[in-house]
Chain A
Amino acid sequence: MSARVRAWMAFVALAAALPACATSPYKRAGNPAEVAAALARSQPPAAAGRSLVFLVLGGAAGPRVAAYDLSAARVVWTQPGDVTTRIAVGHDVIVHGGKAPGATEGSALIVARDIGNGAVLWQHALAGDERLAGYDVDGNAVYLVVQTLGLTKRGTTGAVVALDPRTGLLRWRHPLPTGRVAGPAVRGGLVAVPVDSQYVILMDGMTGMELAQVLSTAEAATFVRPLPEGMFYGSRGVFLLSAGTARGSRQAPGYLLAKLPPFVRPFYWYDLYRPEQAQYSAIDRNHILWRVTAEGDRARFRDDTVAVHDYRFLFGFDSTSGTLRWAYTHPSDAVGSTDTGSVIVFVSADGDIRALDRVTGARRYEARLQGEMVRAATFDAEGFSPTLPKTETGAGPAPDLVEALGAIVADPDKRFPDLKLFAIEEIGRLPGRAATEKLLHILGGRDLPPLAVQKASEALAARRDTQSADLLAAALRLHADYAEGRSAPPVDFLARAVGALGGMGRSVTPELVAQLRHPETPVQSAAQIARALVATGGEEAIPALRDYLTMYRADPAHDADPSALIAIAEALLKLGGAADRRLLLFVAEEPHTVAPLRAHLVRALGETEPGVGTKTATRD
């Protein structure tokens, strides 16, 4: 256990002891009964029955906000205006940050718009000594968490402010026990506010009365997120808010952490302590999309699936095993995305709107905003579950995973080297000839970085696809030809893959022999060919091995690196007969033979008894 972990545990233990302290503002923290009671007071939000996406637009027409109806595939309204922080969607209003005329740096303006036409209903400017930590909205109110700056850091205080959603008038103001506060979340009349890193205060949205306190003992609670299936909090993972997670630990049945590959940024929701994450940013283009099935205190990711949005790429993973289920590549960056519970909807920077089945990745919706530059998007499309007509292009079965991953590898966008490596590894894991064929195609490519080529080679060898030896043979039949403008295949990697097939790769011996005789075949590849021939038992290659050994045995170019000659000699020793042993004896004795090879052969011949490990039948 590292010192850092020990320190964290000590801190957690100390924090856990705090409720016993009479002066602590968190003496209620971690009380399951109070959390259960608070949750019981809240009502699951009624479905809005809408499928809207709110768009932050740029381009020649200037900064605008628009509402797009996914079901009707049309823009409902467009209004001019700057959007400085993320749009939050309520019952009949939307709220976002805006720019006040002549505003100073750090000052904040909350703008509320009518959801039906986008008209500004009211604007609320924070006082000069106030800082906005975040906001959320429901049918009852707009909830702001604000910090009032003190003369010192300890003097800074926090409060939750509830405003009437239609008028912006103050409903109530409730002080928080600390100035270290984060943005709120509201669900069914229950407002959740993270404070002091590891607490979440639950309060009644109607009155501002504090109902309960949650203590996260295992990890910081940097977010709270309302979903129809429950309220969630967490940071590295996700806790379903319940009596069982009133004192959150990772052992709780309501704790969720998806198993995902290393390239995935483990970002489940915005860090609400960080004001910059309230702005639309790269985070909206690179995050995990998840929904939950909750059964009492127990939770699991819905359909055991989470989706990953990584700029232009979307993936579906089995959350328990990390197995890739589907992959999708879009021509341009997706600037925003959401999981509606049925589909993954996203909007691209150039105005494409797509929906993919969250389990299979099949395309289920396509629309386009012509001529628009989309900067960001917020969705209000819970339950949106479209189905493309079967006749329409792109509708139908799930995308072919090999092809989808191959497209990622071949993608000219250089920003995602880790993703390409992941795609290659995944192709290697997939069974069947198509995957082998794709790996061969990748290895034949010209623009891949060395690490990707290495990965593809390893994947090809590791899969030991005995049904695809003919594909390896076909790849090896190609060779460099200047007249035809053709470069050499990756012989080294192909030979390794053949060798991995063992005896099943023997049918590829003629192609390996042809490559061994080809002058452009690199020395390292010759060594690999020799090893592959030994692995497959390709005795037919003996004449070529003899030729190679004799032709280069006295070539000083092999003095520094005799590995190829040694590998060839070893292959002859293992595959050849008595005659080959005599040839090796000659090579070992002949003074013109390069010294390292001689030394190796003297040792190797000495270690093997004549006739042991050699064959004397027909090749004498």
Chain B
Amino acid sequence: MPVRSAGIAVALAFALGATGARAADTKPAEAPAPAAAGSKPAKAKKAGQQKQGKPEKSDAATAAGKKPLPAARLDAAREALAGDDDAAAVAAAGSLGASGAGNAAEPLAEMLAAGASPSRAEAALDALAKLGGAGALTAPRTFEVLDLYAGHRAPEIRQRAVKALGTVKDTRVTATLLARLGDAAPGVRAAAGEALAARRERAATPRLFALVKRGDAGAAGPLAALATPDLIPQVAELSGTVDDGVLASVMGDYLQRADVPDGLRVDVVRTVARMGGAAATTALVEYIASVPAKDNRQSKREAQKLLDEQAGATK
């Protein structure tokens, strides 16, 4: 299909040029007047202030654990991704993702930049997430494409883009993830929260707390992962205004963090116990189960005691 190949070549050149040009457009020097949080200009400015938009680790060799795919295989993948057969395109995307190769992202990013049907886009984003998980997403243009798709109209696509974006070691990612915490779709918010928690982005804490305050269950785990000790009483104060299940989830996950002093854990255990209800009991049970059997720390004993008291009271 020479016509199509030629067309795709043109499209790739300019579509990728478009995403590249977008990044150039939003350099701090050219950014417009202060924008609301999460808007592209503000995001670019923030990224620029941090590390001038460069990847955290630009050395592809350190990122890709496996050796690059040969050119012939990449060309075959490109052919499948652009072909008429949806199943073949999805399979090609899966294969590239499973390869873990440093250059496997290129055909995927190219296809996304040129535009694809939702099913192909989802497959490509899943593959990119997989590559990211293997530390194989290093090309700056991969960030550009994922950043673009994190603003796609379809929530399923946004969610996948956010998940993949979370694996990219580039400081510019943070602003997009923070913005997606305000997404209308719960799945996208949850994906953004998890990515931020995995990246230990403490800047996300206020927005995650705001989400918990709105009863967003997807924010509970990420908030527990990032919360500082002084935030826990504030979470406890939400009792009565927010679903106890969400609050118990925050505190239960917080109890399981290794970096929390045990004295503080004891306080949290008591707070959880005071909340009562099935969610609180589950949080305490899961906490006890998470502690190794030979570890007889005070918070574990306290949790057990409180559970026993609850059981006695109900008999």
Contact = CB atoms under 8 A, between A and B. Distances in A.
B14 A583 contact: yes
Interface stretch (A207-215, A402-410, A542-550): A542-550
B210 A510 contact: no
Interface string A507-519: 0001101100111
A479 to B, nearest CB: 6
Contact of B182 (A484, A542, A550): A484
A593 B117 CA distance: 9
B18 interface: yes
Contact of A483 (B18, B36, B41, B181): B181
Nearest to B117: A554
Contacts of B3: 589
Contacts of B214: 482-483, 485
13 contacts: A477-B39, A478-B36, A480-B184, A482-B216, A483-B189, A484-B210, A510-B35, A514-B40, A547-B18, A555-B154, A579-B14, A589-B3, A590-B7
B14 A546 contact: yes
B69 to A, nearest CB: 24
Nearest to A479: B36
Contact of B4 (A473, A514, A556, A590): A590
A590 B39 contact: no
B18 A582 contact: no
Contacts of A473: 32-33
- In the A-B complex, the 7 residue pairs with the smallest Cβ-Cβ separation, listed nearest first, are A546-B18, A481-B182, A510-B32, A543-B21, A550-B115, A586-B11, A586-B7
Name which of B3, B84, B151 has the most chain A CB atoms within 10 A of its CB: B151
B111 to A, nearest CB: 10
A479 B117 contact: no
B118 interface: yes
Interface string B12-54: 0011011101101100000111011111110000000000000
B172 interface: no
Interface string A22-45: 000000000000000000000000
Contacts of B210: 483-484
B4 A555 contact: no
Contact of B22 (A544, A549, A582): A544
Contacts of A129: none
Contact of A481 (B19, B33, B37): B37
B116 interface: yes
Contact of A552 (B18, B24, B35, B153): B153
A543 B84 contact: no
Interface in A508-549: 510-511, 513-514, 517-520, 523, 540, 542-544, 546-547, 549
Given A483-B210, A550-B11, A591-B84, A517 B40 contact: yes
Contacts of A485: 214
Contacts of A511: 32, 35
A510 B40 CA distance: 9
B164 to A, nearest CB: 15
Contact of B39 (A514, A550, A557, A587): A514
B264 interface: no
Contacts, number: 135
Contacts of B35: 477, 510-511, 514
A550 B18 CA distance: 10
B148 interface: yes
A544 B24 CA distance: 12
A480 B182 CA distance: 8
Contact of A554 (B36, B113, B115): B115
A555 to B, nearest CB: 6
B8 interface: yes
B198 interface: no
B18 A585 contact: no
Interface of A: 473, 477-486, 510-511, 513-514, 517-520, 523, 540, 542-544, 546-547, 549-557, 579-580, 582-583, 585-587, 589-593
A540 B32 CA distance: 12
B114 interface: yes
Contacts of A481: 37-38, 182
Contact of A546 (B15, B154, B181): B15
Contact of A550 (B113, B118, B153): B113
Contacts of B211: 482-483
Contacts of A478: 36
B260 interface: no
B158 interface: yes
Contacts of A523: 153
A511 B32 CA distance: 8
Given A514-B40, A518-B151, A552 B115 contact: yes
Contacts of A557: 118, 153-154
A336 B165 CA distance: 68
A192 to B, nearest CB: 68
Nearest to A480: B184
B184 A580 contact: no
Contact of A482 (B37, B114, B115, B189): B189
A136 B10 CA distance: 90
Nearest to A558: B153
Nearest to A485: B214
Nearest to A513: B40
A586 B38 contact: no
A399 to B, nearest CB: 34
A582 B10 contact: yes
Contacts of A579: 14, 17
A517 B151 contact: yes
A510 B14 contact: no
Contacts of A551: 115, 148-149, 152
Name which of A517, A547, A554, A555 has the most chain B CB atoms within 10 A of its CB: A547
A566 to B, nearest CB: 15
B128 to A, nearest CB: 15
Contacts of B19: 543, 547
A579 B14 CA distance: 7
A344 B153 CA distance: 56
A591 B4 contact: yes
Name which of B22, B113, B154 has the most chain A CB atoms within 10 A of its CB: B22
A473 B116 CA distance: 33
Interface string B151-180: 111100010000000000000000000000
Interface in B113-148: 113-118, 148
A483 B207 contact: yes
Nearest to A555: B118
A479 B38 contact: yes
B231 to A, nearest CB: 16
Given A546-B17, A590-B11, 8 more contacts: A473-B33, A480-B184, A481-B182, A550-B11, A585-B10, A592-B115, A592-B116, A592-B117
B201 interface: no
Contacts of A480: 182, 184
B183 interface: yes
Contacts of B84: 591
A492 to B, nearest CB: 15
A540 B10 CA distance: 21
A592 to B, nearest CB: 6
Contacts of A550: 11, 15, 18, 113-115
A519 B183 CA distance: 9
Contacts of B8: 586, 590
A482 B189 CA distance: 9
A483 B8 CA distance: 40
Contact of B183 (A482, A547, A587): A482
Name which of A481, A518, A554, A580 has the most chain B CB atoms within 10 A of its CB: A481
Contacts of A513: 25, 40
